[in-house]
Structure 1
Amino acid sequence: MSGRHGNKTRLFMSAKRKKHHFRIKRQTHFAPDTVPSNNENKENSATALNTPSKETQELMEENVSSSSSITRLNDLNIVCENDDDDCDEEISNDKLSGRRIVDIKYLFSSISNIKHQHTDCTFADLKFVKELRKGFTSQYVFRCKMCQKVETVHSEDPTSKLNTNTAIVEGILCSGNGYAQLNEICSVLNMPNMHQNTYTKIEQSLTPLIEECAIEEMIAAGEEEKRLAILNGEIDKEGCPVITVVADGSWAKRSYKSGFSSASGAGCIVGMRTKKVLFLGVRNSYCCICSRSIKLNKDVTEHRCFKNWSDSANAMEADIIAEGFAKSVEMHGIKYKNLVGDGDSSIMKKLLLKKPYGSDFTISKIEC
């Protein structure tokens, strides 16, 4: 009996302490002179139900801030034009991150030349405001904390003929890559890439420049071959220097003995002495714009069409080499007397039929 009574007593005292603790905790929420009445209790309880907790308010604030960062583009200071135009990016001070490419000598010179008259303000008094990025070139805008004058520092000389954007596109093309590979490189470097429209425009503008540069180099190589031929007394009866050349071709799609279905092929002629290119030719039997227009039964829009071949892919190499022989006198003032090449007989057959130097001139084949 005493054990059961003892247990009851302990349970009663525990419940009493909990009730007393609840009263104390409830009273601590209000000052003694501001204890709410019953009506006030109802109003307060209704207000408590309508008022979110502190954790809920913090979560709501996070959601609002995250949604506003997505919807309010002005906060990000990013200005994107139509898809047909380049995408310029304006980056504010708090959003500035990643790596950039700069002309270090020009940048340091621009910074050291900053000095405001009458106030003697220098670069140390400037505060960074924003960056205006155009591809890989940037303009850094600063504002003086003393006189409020705005200064703009370029990442490189804006009057440079070969700026960073053009140099990068040319480098990507020379390495046999494209925009996708450039994008991967920039991702690894944590460096913002240029817009694809900007890349395409620069690539299109570089095409005629690369062609012009290639022709100049081939003409210079021809002059050197001509000088060496004259020096060695290799001149035909008409007084024209004659040289030995190496020639070969290739296709964009692998073709060996069968399956000549490549839509593009290239060939070149190289001087034996200088090991420099004297002629380069390309044959394309496909144009995506023309093909798409024909497929959709629409008029072909004005464009630069690279399709210049309608025969079989097997005949591309021989036609290119024969063209190079026919233009040797016009381009370099020399004749190709000996041809070093593989066992492909189609090239010699084409040369014998075309006879680029007349019927009295014999072209010899040296198989390698």
Structure 2
Amino acid sequence: MEAPMEINALRRYKSGRFKKKKANTTEPDDNNNTLTEIDLNMSNLNEKDTETQEEIYHEPEQSKFVEIEGRRIVDITFFVEQLERGCYACRGPISLTRCIKEVKYGLASLFHVKCLCGETNIISTGKRNNEEKNGQGPFHINTKLGVALLHAGIGETIVRNIFAVLNIPCLTARNLKKQERRVGPAIEKIATVSCNDALEKENLESSSDGLSLSYDAGWQKRGSGRNYNSKSGHASMVGCMTKKIVGYGVMSSSCRICAVASKQGVAPQQHDCRKNWNGSSKAMEPAMAVNILTSIKDKGHQLKKLVMDDDTTTIAKVRNEVESTIEKCSDKNHTMKNFTNALYSLQKDKKLQSDKHKNYKPHKKVFFLCNIKEYRCRGIKRKPSGYSPSFIWEPPQM
């Protein structure tokens, strides 16, 4: 009779399987054969049990959780709703302390949070647009940052420096420009609609003779009086009755993409080119005035008066190409500026600086005259000290 086999004496692997006993190279006996058959049978049973056994979740080690550093911009209402909703599988509570990964998309983030049941939940810091095919468009916060750049008139370098000090992850310079180009056409459409509405209101409040409009232009690079070489310029036209912008224009004499392609001797790639001017920077002002007034006239409105500075080139071009009978009025701000500059130039007159007029203090007289001119131009209620309508002041020996 064979001796009973002790199965408990068999050794197991860490996975739970029995270790096979090494076969002896010496003469085999019946006991060794029986033991080998039992090991094979137990191994087959363990393989079948492993295939049908339900997977058991093991709690990850604490070191596998990610520590979230710095600051984030969060849509607080949307963020709280996701946390209150809980795990999508077991509806249990979830905590950001169990975050295993963070994926950053500019100012937005996706937190991958591990629940106690073993499922991974994705928590977003804000909403995103569903304009893409997969419904995963850009985040709202990144799009609003592009609008803020255009509204504040700053570039990507300044924005990145601000967020660096605040310890907030920011978009790269390339993605910031991408957001600018994304929101640019939408802003232009809104501006066009706003100008058309303001023009209709201005037409209703104006007389039947025509519209009275105020016009001025500016450049991104300040002119010194002798040199005007700005690459771009802008202009706006405001209704005198509603004080709202009824038209605007922007001109640019350069395009970076076209300039690089021309330097390399290749055709430029397809892009939204904004180069629309080949003349001098000073000639942008009359050209933009003609374009704005032409568009207003094409909409069926009559032009009566144009309030602007004392630039004779602009009004001459407008009368020659748009409306020959338009009336020109001087702007009070430019009039005051020119009058004041003329008065202050008297201080540099060598005749007034001679010994004969050493007790003469021109700056006091200039200041007094400026107040009188401001009173007459603007019609302010507060009269300058010592002013009377019949007052006549004559500088000594001028």
Match of 2:204 in 1: 227
**Greater relative CO, 1 or 2 (CA 8 Å, sep 6+):** 1
Task: Confirm or deny that 1:269 pairs with 2:237.
Answer: yes
1:291 is displaced (CA, Å) by: 2.5
Select 1:287's aligned residue among 219, 234, 255. Answer: 255
Aligned length: 261
- Kept in 1, the 8 Å contact 2:107–2:142? The answer is yes
Corresponding letter in the other structure for 2:123: V
Q: Does residue 172 of structure 1 match 2:149?
A: yes
Given the two structures, how large is their TM-score scaled by the length of structure 1? 0.66
Q: What is the rounded CA distance, in whole Å, between the counterparts of 1:264 and 1:342 in structure 2?
A: 20
Q: Is the 8 A contact 1:264 1:313 kept in 2?
A: yes
Q: Distance in 1 between matches of 2:113 and 2:260?
A: 50
**Do the aligned partners of 1:283 and 1:309 also contact (CA within 8 Å) in 2?**
yes
Cα shift readout 1:93-150 (whole Å, capped 9, x = no counterpart):
4352000001101111111112566x552235982222111111111111111x2122
* Partner amino acid, structure 2, of 1:235: S
Residue 107 of structure 1 pairs with residue 79 of structure 2: yes
Which stretch of the first structure deviates more once superposed, 161-170 or 205-214? Answer: 161-170
Offset of residue 319 of structure 1: 0.8
Residue aligned with 2:102, SS? strand
Q: Take 1:350 and 1:248, find their aligned partners in 2: how far apart are those partners?
A: 15
Does structure 1 residue 367 correspond to structure 2 residue 291?
no
Supply the distance in 1 between the matched residues of 2:261 and 2:180 (Cα, whole angstroms): 24
* Structure-1 residue corresponding to 2:70: 98
Identify the structure with the greater helix proportion.
1
Q: Judge conservation of contact 1:125–1:144 (CA < 8 Å) in 2.
A: no
Q: Please give the alpha-carbon distance, in whole angstroms, between the structure 1 residues aligned to 2:163 and 2:317.
A: 48
Task: Provide the C-alpha distance between the structure 2 equivalents of 1:125 and 1:295, rounded to a whole number of angstroms.
Answer: 52
Alpha-carbon distance in structure 2 between the residues aligned to 1:277 and 1:104: 37
1:243 and 2:211 correspond: yes
Local SS of the residue matching 2:179: helix
Asked whether the equivalents of residues 235 and 248 of structure 2 are also in contact (C-alpha less than 8 Å), the reply is: yes
Aligned to 1:322: 290
Structure 1 partner of 2:367: none
CA distance in 1, matches of 2:311, 2:160: 41
Q: Compare 190-199 and 342-351 and name the one that shifted more.
A: 190-199
Of 262, 285, 307, the residue aligned with 2:275 is: 307
1:303 deviation in Å? 2.7
The residue identity in structure 2 corresponding to 1:277 is I
Match of 2:127 among 152, 157, 162: 157
Matched, 1:139 2:106: no
Separation in 2 of the partners of 1:195 and 1:126?
28
- What are the Cα deviations for residues 67-97 of structure 1, in whole angstroms up to 9, with x where unaligned? xxxxxxxxxxxxxxxxxxxxxxxxx843520
Normalised to the residue count of structure 2, the TM-score between the two structures is 0.61
Cα distance between partner residues in 2 of 1:323 and 1:135? 40
CA RMSD of aligned residues (A): 2.3
1:204-215 alignment runs, 5 A limit? 204-215=181-192
- 8 Å CA contact 2:222–2:230 kept in 1: the answer is yes
Among all aligned residue pairs of Structure 1 and Structure 2, give the percentage whose two residues are the same amino acid: 28
The residue type equivalent to 2:316 in the other structure is K
What is the SS of the residue equivalent to 1:250? strand
Distance 2:301 2:96 in 1: 67
Amino acid at match of 2:66: D
Shift in CA distance, 142/294, structure 1 to aligned 2, threshold 3 Å: closer
CA contact (8 A) 2:87 2:121 kept: no
Structure 2 runs not aligned, ≥5 long = 1-63, 132-138, 332-398
Q: Is residue 325–residue 335 contact of structure 1 (8 Å, CA) maintained in 2?
A: no
- Classify 1:97/1:121 alpha carbon distance in 2 versus 1 (closer, same or farther; 3 Å): same
Note the residue ranges of structure 1 that are not aligned, 5 or more in a row: 1-91, 237-241
Contact 1:132 1:139 in 2 (8 A): yes
Residue 97 of structure 1 aligns with an amino acid whose one-letter code is E
CA distance in 2, matches of 1:346, 1:116: 70
Letter in 1 for 2:200: E
1:300 Cα offset (Å)? 3.2
Give yes or no for contact 1:126–1:144 (8 Å, CA) kept in 2: no
**What secondary structure sits across from 1:365 in the alignment?**
strand
How many Å apart are 1:255 and its aligned residue? 2.2
